[in-house]
């Protein structure tokens, strides 16, 4: 066994938060297949099955070397009969027939197209599919289709926001946010989170956390930042959600995407001049000199910064397993706001992510090792 940990010396944990998963993925051929299967299961509302595929992909991403044969999957957690059959297929034929069938399926293709629009989830996509709609042109020209504000923006900026955001663009957006924050609140901090904090070269959006040392001023700061960006004329879409945070509430048991901090989901205009080397990742034929970029800002109170940072840094699979580990292995509840120890009936405070890993009795995992 070259490069792969043998079961006797080191076993791979079933929890992503006990694995180090960098962006080098020697098993991409398998994990890509699992991710198609997971997406298809999500489209069919089979959440459990989708999760099983996502877990299998996540385990393979953490391995230091490529699988060489089906036998290499022995002893690995989260790989069941179905996922092993896919691995076997790929070893034998170089591809999985199950995956090929899905990729050529009209419903899958249409669902994938429709859900690529900002603001369109599987429910809406399926509704449109069942009405016989198949293309984006059909949706915008169909008089009976009602689009909400988010979906309207999704169609309006479709070409830009489906184009991956580069690291240079993410940092340029960060500089804009930092300058704006500096003007109003010099003590406030702006910290990169999400996929770019994990070292990704490209992302679907840019995520930053704002916070101020004076507790209770973060929500006002976020509102003023939005106002200021709007005044600069670069806001193309704004969705603001005020705080629903309650410091006494226990962390949420189930993994849910939304937290209770004040936040906003924006689309901003990023001009070529704002980029260090002056080049936007646009069509070369594009003469506008700017592109639209999705930007998320979240503003937790200072004493919750570490929890918010850990929660927004992802990956989603890493976050899921952190919470599951806390609950099942430590009798604790973790979410983006807090960590609660059930046996002590106490909240465990944290100033840094290291503090949270420490409370959980986990080795610290660097952000770039959280690409589970």
Token pair, residue 190, equals: 């702006």
Q: Which is nearer to ligand ATP, 110 or 317 (CB)?
A: 317
230 scored as a contact of ligand ATP (CB under 6 A) = no
195 scored as a contact of Mn ion (CB under 5 A) = yes
Q: Report whether 365 contacts 17 (CB < 8 A).
A: yes
CB of 48 to Mn ion, least distance (A): 25
Binding partner of residue 321 among Mn ion, ligand ATP, none, CB cut-off 5 to 8 Å per kind: none
Q: Which is nearer to ligand ATP, 2 or 257 (CB)?
A: 257
What does the angle CA 212 – CA 17 – CA 80 come to, to the nearest 5 degrees?
Answer: 145
CB of 23 to ligand ATP, least distance (A): 11
Q: Which of 258, 273, 328, 346 binds ligand ATP (CB under 6 A)?
A: 258
Q: Which of 42, 160, 169, 207 binds ligand ATP (CB under 6 A)?
A: 207
312 scored as a contact of ligand ATP (CB under 6 A) = yes
Q: How far apart are CA 128 and CA 126, in angstroms?
A: 5
Which one, of 86, 138, 133, 79, lies nearest residue 106 by Cα? Answer: 133
Candidate segments 113-121, 123-131, 173-181, 313-321, binder of ligand ATP by CB under 6 A:
313-321
- Inter-CA distances, 38 with 42, 124, 178, 234, 276, Å: 6, 19, 37, 36, 38
Q: Which of 39, 42, 169, 207 binds Mn ion (CB under 5 A)?
A: 207
Q: How far apart are CA 51 and CA 137, in angstroms?
A: 33
Pairing of strands 189-193, 290-298: unpaired
367 scored as a contact of Mn ion (CB under 5 A) = no
Pairing of strands 206-211, 189-193: antiparallel
Q: Which is nearer to ligand ATP, 219 or 259 (CB)?
A: 259
311 scored as a contact of Mn ion (CB under 5 A) = no
The residue whose two tokens read 């500089």 is: 175
259 scored as a contact of ligand ATP (CB under 6 A) = yes
314 scored as a contact of ligand ATP (CB under 6 A) = yes
Residue nearest to Mn ion (CB): 194
Query: Residues in contact with ligand ATP, total (CB under 6 A)?
Result: 17
Candidate segments 101-109, 118-126, 226-234, 253-261, binder of ligand ATP by CB under 6 A:
253-261
DSSP letters, 295-331, are: EEEE---GGGHHHHHHHHH--HHHHHHHHHHHHHHHS
User: One of 296, 303, 341, 355 is an active-site residue; which one?
Assistant: 296
Instruction: Tell me, yes or no, if 205 is annotated catalytic.
Output: yes
Q: Report whether 270 contacts 296 (CB < 8 A).
A: no
319 scored as a contact of ligand ATP (CB under 6 A) = yes
User: One of 72, 89, 160, 207 is an active-site residue; which one?
Assistant: 207
Q: How far apart are CA 60 and CA 180, in angstroms?
A: 42
CA dihedral (159, 264, 324, 307) in degrees, to 10, reads: 130
Instruction: Tell me, yes or no, if 89 is annotated catalytic.
Output: no
CB of 196 to Mn ion, least distance (A): 7
200 scored as a contact of ligand ATP (CB under 6 A) = yes
Binding partner of residue 316 among Mn ion, ligand ATP, none, CB cut-off 5 to 8 Å per kind: ligand ATP
Q: Report whether 87 contacts 60 (CB < 8 A).
A: no
Classified as helix, coil or strand, 230 is helix
Candidate segments 80-88, 104-112, 129-137, 201-209, binder of ligand ATP by CB under 6 A:
201-209
* Other CB atoms within 10 Å distance of the CB of residue 366: 11
Residue ranges that bind Mn ion, judged by CB under 5 A: 194-195, 203, 205, 207, 296
Instruction: List residues with catalytic annotation.
Output: 205, 207, 296
Residue ranges that bind ligand ATP, judged by CB under 6 A: 194-195, 200, 203-205, 207, 257-259, 311-312, 314-316, 319, 336
């Amino acid at each position: 066994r070259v490069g792969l940990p043998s079961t006797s010396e080191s076993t791979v944990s079933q929890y992503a938060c006990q694995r180090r998963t960098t962006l080098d993925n020697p098993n991409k051929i398998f994990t890509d297949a699992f991710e198609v299967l997971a997406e298809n299961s999500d489209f069919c509302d089979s959440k459990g099955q989708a999760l099983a595929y996502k877990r299998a992909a996540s385990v393979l991403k953490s391995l230091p070397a490529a699988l060489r044969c089906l036998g290499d999957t022995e002893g690995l957690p989260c790989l069941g009969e179905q996922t092993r059959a896919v691995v076997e297929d790929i070893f034998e034929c170089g591809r999985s027939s199950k995956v090929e069938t899905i990729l050529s399926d009209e419903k899958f293709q249409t669902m994938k197209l429709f859900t690529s629009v900002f603001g369109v989830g599987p429910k809406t996509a399926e509704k449109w599919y069942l009405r016989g709609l198949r293309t984006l042109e059909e949706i915008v020209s169909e008089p009976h289709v009602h689009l909400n504000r988010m979906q309207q923006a999704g169609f309006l900026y479709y070409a830009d926001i489906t184009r991956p955001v580069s690291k240079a663009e993410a940092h340029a957006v960060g500089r804009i946010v930092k300058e704006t924050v500096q003007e109003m609140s010099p003590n406030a901090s702006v910290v990169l989170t999400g996929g770019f904090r994990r070292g990704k070269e490209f992302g679907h959006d840019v995520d930053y956390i704002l916070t101020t040392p004076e507790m209770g001023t973060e929500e006002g700061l976020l509102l003023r930042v939005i106002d200021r960006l709007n005044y600069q004329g670069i806001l193309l879409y704004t969705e603001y959600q005020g705080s629903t945070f309650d410091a006494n509430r226990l962390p949420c048991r189930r993994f849910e995407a939304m937290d209770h901090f004040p936040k906003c989901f924006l689309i901003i205009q990023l001009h070529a001049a704002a980029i260090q080397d002056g080049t936007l990742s646009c069509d070369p034929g594009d003469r506008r000199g700017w592109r639209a970029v999705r930007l998320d800002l979240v503003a937790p109170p200072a004493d919750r910064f570490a929890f918010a940072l850990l929660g927004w840094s992802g990956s989603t699979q890493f976050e899921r397993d952190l919470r599951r580990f806390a609950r099942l292995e430590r009798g604790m509840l973790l979410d983006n706001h807090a960590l609660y120890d059930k046996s002590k009936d106490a909240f465990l405070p944290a100033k840094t992510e290291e503090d949270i890993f420490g409370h959980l009795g986990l080795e610290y995992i660097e952000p770039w090792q959280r690409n589970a």
